[in-house]
Amino acid sequence: MKQYGKVAVLMGGHSAEREVSLRSGAAVLGALQSQGVDAHAFDPSEQALTQLVDQNFSRAFVVLHGRGGEDGTVQGALEYLGIPYTGTGVLGCALAMDKVRTKQIWQAQGLPVAESVVIRRGQSIDPAGLLRQLGGKVMVKPAQEGSSIGMSSANTPEALTKSLQLAHEYDEEALVEAWLAGPEYTISILGERALPSIRLQTTHEFYDYAAKYQAGDTQYHCPAGLSPLQEQALQQLAVSAFRAVAGSGWGRIDVMCDALGEFKLLEANMVPGMTAKSLVPMAARATGLSFEQLVLEILDFSLTEHED
């Protein structure tokens, strides 16, 4: 057993993804404790982060989803406190949380993304013209939310206006993307390698919050049904996308196909869901890695990635 010392599993927090984070944190905590790690739950919404120092924690396993945990904020605080932590650092988390800046970086690197337009809160627009520009149907997303919160589709000017209102309830900026009609994939990153891709299949119009966490009929295909060459290309694309936004340790890249079957990058997740039924553990199992082994491997990165 490696010497991890006293480990804080950071979970909960203040974001709109708090409940998901609590479930992820409980699963990670149980897995660490089952492997003999001196791990303890720590909810930053209930304790000041300085308590990590006062309580003599050696490192932190970050399972905070969304704002305040996945956006570089807590990573910066941990670095200031001198506490090593799992996953991506301040810059990568801040970039990946912002879908607009993530897409801009991917575009600058020549990586494939759907055509999109950014609309700020209060900005006057021509909804019909915007729909024509983006192909007649769009997906509208808050720039900085996860778990599909605040997302909706639109194919009429009236629906687009409502979708923008919803997205702007969560964020100053809304990302309006051309609708992608093909299948959706997610690729988990562990260290320097991509795990097998997972194809997501839902009866909902898109893979929304309910499809992720509530529906009983969402299907996950791993292997994804791609040819060996397609699988290799998708994994390479995911690793390139992850590195482009300074990802490290572990994470997940979401991809969809357009009507022509071309891969288009959607977003990067630097602190993905980590319940036993989540997508990263599912991909890990396909390589023979148990949930407990996966959690320990992620924790191992804190021994080298963010040490003083």
Binding site, by residue number, is: 254, 267, 269
Written as six digits, the tokens of 221 are: 């295909």
Sign of CA dihedral 41, 47, 52, 54: negative
Written as six digits, the tokens of 80 are: 């200031």
Catalytic residue among 152, 197, 248, 278: 278
Rounded Cα gap, residues 283 and 279, in angstroms: 6
The dihedrals phi and psi of 206, each to the nearest 5 degrees, come to -150, 175
Nearest CA among 270, 232, 295, 278 for reference residue 20: 278
Cis preceding-peptide flag for 223 (omega within 30 of 0) = yes
Catalytic residue among 116, 147, 148, 152: 147
**Is there a catalytic annotation at residue 278?**
yes
209: amino acid identity, one letter:
Y
DSSP sequence for 242-307: HHHTT--SEEEEEEEE-TTS-EEEEEEESS---STTSHHHHHHHHTT--HHHHHHHHHHHTTTSS-
Beta bridge partners of 190: 193, 250
**Tokens 């991809």, residue located:** 255
Catalytic residue among 17, 70, 145, 231: 17
**Is there a catalytic annotation at residue 17?**
yes
8 Å CB contact between 203 and 127: no
**Is there a catalytic annotation at residue 147?**
yes
Helix (H) or strand (E) holding 181: none
Beta bridge partners of 38: 6
Binding site for Mg(2+), by residue number, is: 254, 267, 269
Written as six digits, the tokens of 92 are: 């990568």
Which residues are part of the catalytic machinery? 17, 147, 278
